Structure 1
Amino acid sequence: MEIIKKYKFLSVVVLLLLCGGAVYIFYRYNPETSGFFLQCPFKLLTGYDCPGCGSQRALHALLHGEIKQSFAYNPLFIIAIPYVILGFIFNQDKVKAKYPGFRKVLFGQKAIYIILFIVIAFWLLRNL
């Protein structure tokens, strides 16, 4: 049991370091002007934006406090951030046990279909 706790702690530390490094890179370097950020393969092949296009620029703008500009780059990304954070919170064992109904509403099968519909609708509407 002690070994499991040790590796769980280590994995959390590694994850935090990786996330911190990613945040630093996106804060420091602008994806619009820096050459080492990946371009969207879907957009390169088709010329159309995918649902994730603009997310790197949106994150960079958000980290600099430019919320309006960030939303202009990719509104779906900005709206999804609180939902993803809630997902991490509701994935904790204590929270899972305490709020199973709320978790099911936010992350159950119906929620998956609703999110899929929203992503596809966003994808289509942004390319009209």
Structure 2
Amino acid sequence: MTEGTTAAVHGRRGADRLRSVLAPLGVAAVTGAAFAFVGAVDPNQPGHYPTCPFLFLTGLYCPGCGTLRAMHALAHADPVTALGLNPLAVATIPFLLFWWGRWAVRSWQGRPARTDLANPIYLWAFLALVIVYWVVRNLPFGRFLAP
């Protein structure tokens, strides 16, 4: 292999590596922009965001109720308030960051993304957790989970 060919191969690998990282970087950019928007536009002020349709129709909290206000609190470095608004959403963030980081590193290394997150056992367990959280936060003894 000549010196020019070697440089072309390495240049192509670098371009492939950069291209493979575009998806995780795009997700990070969109998530960061959404987080910055929610941090700047206060969901505690009426008229900025729509009311939760489930709460509006039933008077009960859905699993996502309080998430926008929790993210606003996190954007303002107030994790205690965020936990009080939606502890499940806040507790999910470290797992999402871990899985995103693993995806980004594997993409940078040129390895395929792992699909063990999509294991049906994990998905069913998470769905069960969300349903239990949904029910308990609407019962009298679970009011501490309500936003």
TM-score by length of 2: 0.67
Indicate the structure whose relative CO is greater, using CA pairs within 8 Å and at least 6 residues apart. 2
Give the Å deviation of 1:39.
1.6
Provide the residue aligned with 2:106 in structure 1.
94
* Higher CA-based Rg: 2
Q: Which position in structure 1 is the counterpart of 2:123?
A: 112
Instruction: Give the whole-Å Cα distance in 2 for the aligned partners of 1:34 and 1:74.
Output: 19
Aligned CA distance change for structure 1 residues 114 and 14 (closer, same or farther; 3 Å): closer
Are the structure 2 counterparts of residues 107 and 83 from structure 1 closer, same or farther at C-alpha, using a change threshold of 3 Å?
farther
C-alpha RMSD of the superposition = 3.3
- Structure 2 CA distance, aligned partners of 1:85 and 1:7? 19
> Is 1:31–1:60's contact at 8 Å kept on the other side of the alignment?
yes
1:46-82 CA distances to partner (integer Å, 9 max, x unpaired)?
1100000000000000111111100000000001111
In structure 2, the partner of 1:124 is 135
Structure 1: gaps (5+ residues): none
Query: Is the aligned partner of 1:32 residue 2:5?
Result: no
Displacement over 4 Å in runs of 4+: 5-8, 11-17, 97-100
| Matched residue type, 1:71 | L
C-alpha change, 1:94 and 1:23, in structure 2 (3 Å) is closer
